[in-house]
Chains A and B, each alone.
Chain A
């Protein structure tokens, strides 16, 4: 059974940093591209970042470029999102999701809540 489990969320002050993790199991992690998607309270989905299976391609939404860094450790079946210079508008549930066939995000974690507030 495929499982993606996010962790690392919490309350952080504006300007602070947080590192999210996503642990994958039940899949051959190193052959799949991965994504981070977020959802602010009561709002829609926002794509945040993409990383290809071998780290060759990395992309970010303009809203996080220069502040967030995505990485992966295939040997540990893990995906990460380093978030720096956090702002109130970064408050959201953050999901990791696998890119399946044709690019559709076919497996999602349960999400981890990040709250940026003083």
Chain B
């Protein structure tokens, strides 16, 4: 199974900050990497698919990069509504594992 490791597990930041979250796969997954945002009590929301493509309706301050084993999610200027937990997921091979999450607070 492919293990997905996110870092950091939690992150303290302020409005206006530039934030970067990293996701590392235990083996190469090409660009089959997706990022989600989840707020308490809500379903996850897709932000980025295919490592770097912004999902429709998602603000352009979110961006993704990487391929192979190392990926990043960047929020260029943090907004109050961005405080949430972020997950990466690989769909290169089953099981389609998620990272453990990064709580942005």
Interface pick from A14-22, A23-31, A45-53, A82-90: A45-53
The closest CB in chain B to the CB of A107 belongs to: B46
Q: Which residues of B contact A100 (CB under 8 A)?
A: 46, 49
The closest CB in chain B to the CB of A64 belongs to: B95
Main secondary structure of the interface of B (DSSP, over half): loop
The closest CB in chain B to the CB of A95 belongs to: B43
On whether the beta carbons of B95 and A61 are closer than 8 Å, the reply is yes
On whether the beta carbons of B89 and A105 are closer than 8 Å, the reply is yes
Q: B3 contacts the other chain (Cβ, under 8 Å)?
A: no
Interface pick from B11-19, B20-28, B76-84, B96-104: B96-104
Q: Which residues of A contact B34 (CB under 8 A)?
A: 102-105
Main secondary structure of the interface of A (DSSP, over half): strand
Q: B55 contacts the other chain (Cβ, under 8 Å)?
A: yes
**Are A47 and B55 also in contact (CB < 8 A) when A100-B49, A103-B32 are?**
no
Q: B94 contacts the other chain (Cβ, under 8 Å)?
A: yes
> Which of B31, B50, B94, B97 lies in contact with A50, CB distance below 8 A?
B94
Q: B10 contacts the other chain (Cβ, under 8 Å)?
A: no
A35 shortest CB reach to chain B, Å: 7
Q: A1 contacts the other chain (Cβ, under 8 Å)?
A: no
Q: Which residues of B contact A102 (CB under 8 A)?
A: 31-32, 34, 49-50, 53, 91
CA distance A101 to B47 in the complex (A): 13
B53 shortest CB reach to chain A, Å: 7
The closest CB in chain B to the CB of A98 belongs to: B46
A selection of 26 A-B contacts at a CB cut-off of 8 Å is A44-B87, A44-B99, A45-B36, A45-B38, A45-B44, A47-B89, A47-B98, A50-B94, A59-B94, A59-B96, A62-B95, A97-B44, A101-B49, A102-B49, A102-B91, A103-B34, A103-B96, A104-B46, A104-B48, A104-B50, A104-B55, A104-B91, A105-B36, A106-B46, A106-B49, A108-B43
Known: A44-B87, A47-B98, A110-B43. 5 other contacts (CB 8 A): A46-B98, A47-B95, A103-B96, A105-B34, A105-B46
